[in-house]
Amino acid sequence: DAIASGEIAPIDPSVLAWSLIAVGETIGLRWIVWNDAHEVPPEVFEGMMTVIGRMLGSTGTVPLATEPGGAA
């Protein structure tokens, strides 16, 4: 388990899971469903990944490794 091994910060796994779901759903709604472009801009995707990294216990930024929907 990632929490037990220290890979991510200690937090209730259910709270973390629902928080991650909320981030993905909100970004998806805002930039894909409610926007005529129907895509997440790279800078928004990168920002979202930084937020997720910090939610998991990282203190730095997460470099953009892929385009949304692309391969690493």
pTM over 0.85: no
Is 6 contained in some domain?
Answer: no
More confident call, 72 vs 13: 13
Domain count, the chain: 1
Is 22 a domain residue?
Answer: yes
For residue 51, being part of any structural domain is answered with: yes
Residue in 6, 44, 2 with CA at minimum distance from that of residue 23: 44
On whether residue 34 sits in a domain, the answer given is yes
Secondary structure, 3-state, 30-51 = HHHHCCCCCCCCHHHHHHHHHH
pLDDT in tens, 12-48: 999 999 999 999 999 999 999 999 888 999 999 999 9
The interaxial angle of helices 42-55 and 13-28, nearest 10 deg, is 170
Domain limits at 35? 13-55
Categorize the per-residue pLDDT at 72 as very low, low, confident or very high, splitting at 50, 70 and 90.
Answer: very low
